[in-house]
Amino acid sequence: MSATVAAVLLAFTSLGFSSTIELNQPFTPAGQNYSITALQNLTPLTLDGGTPVGAKTNVNYEFQGGFGVRYTNALDQLTDFGIGLYDSDYAPGIQAASTGLNIAFDHLVSSNGLSATLGDFDLNEFSTDFNTGRVAPTVSIYGNGGFLLGNFSAAQIIADNAMSLLASNDPITQTDLWKLDLGALVGPNVQVSGFTLAADLYNGGGSQMVVNSVPYFLVSVSGCECASVPEPGSAFLILSAGLGCLIITRRRTRGLFAAK
């Protein structure tokens, strides 16, 4: 990582956040133009049926600075989790559902350079697919008026080279960090109003994922080429917008996450 990003991480560490914290629903980082809303009961293929009722955004559950979801389980108990698959409230043990995080901008932003930093997939630069014992991501991206621009599965994320490694074991978060390039999924110069992150029922190769999965987490949202997207400024967002602008030197591998 660059010296700038390392400095941001060290500054965040000095704030001393460590235990899991429940945030307001929706959670709006101070001075920023987007909000984060936790969802549960998402259908893990189409991301239909999600509800904020019974869900809360949390932070620091698995690692410092990672945003996840505190959901209400079938026994009406609040459960700290991240973004992952679980037995849903309406059919425990039968129907897999996903928790999720919805990012809503308060005005339209450009898809150029728009990305999210995600963490804790337990992958590295040599990985060829998502681990079926953990979690695979899926994302829905919305345009003007909340119009659905597309649901993008783990397989599509891999096929579009939309996910790239930032750190295989970040020294502060102690986990792998990845950049999810939303512009690579919807194309350039597209107006975006928001997006929803969730867990896919299948990995890129079509193998079904384990329920309950080991979840992943949102770390930050950045749009270094989008003038209308602010740099993350909350104390809970551990990476600056500059993270999305890092030039990553990748090893030449045959992994599906490597640039082709």
In contact, 247 and 2? CB cutoff 8 Å:
no
CA distance 213 to 87: 10
Model confidence over 99-152: pLDDT tens digits?
999 999 989 999 999 999 999 999 988 998 999 989 999 999 999 999 999 999
The angle at the Cα of 257, spanning 255 to 260, to the nearest 5 degrees, equals: 80
Query: What residues contact residue 14 under an 8 Å CB cut-off, 6+ apart?
Result: none
Model confidence over 61-93: pLDDT tens digits?
999 889 999 998 878 889 999 999 998 766 666
Residue whose pair of structure tokens reads 């999305």 in the numeric block: 244
Mean pLDDT of the chain: 80
Residue type, 45: L
Q: What is the pLDDT of residue 10?
A: 42
> Quick one: what percent of the chain has pLDDT higher than 90?
56
Q: 67-72 and 21-22 as β-strands: parallel, antiparallel, unpaired?
A: unpaired
Q: How far is CA 194 from the centre of its chain?
A: 13
Short-list 215, 213, 204, 218, CA closest to 257? 204
In contact, 164 and 178? CB cutoff 8 Å:
yes
Q: What is the pTM of this model?
A: 0.81
CA distance 26 to 204: 31
> Quick one: what percent of the chain has pLDDT higher than 70?
76
pLDDT beyond 90 at 260? no
CA distance 172 to 167: 11
Q: What is the pLDDT of residue 79?
A: 92
Q: Which two tokens stand for residue 6?
A: 């390392």
Model confidence over 244-256: pLDDT tens digits?
333 233 333 334 5
Residue whose pair of structure tokens reads 């991480």 in the numeric block: 9
**Residue 146 backbone phi and psi in degrees, to 5:** 80, 10
3-state helix, strand, coil in the chain (%, to 5): 10, 35, 55
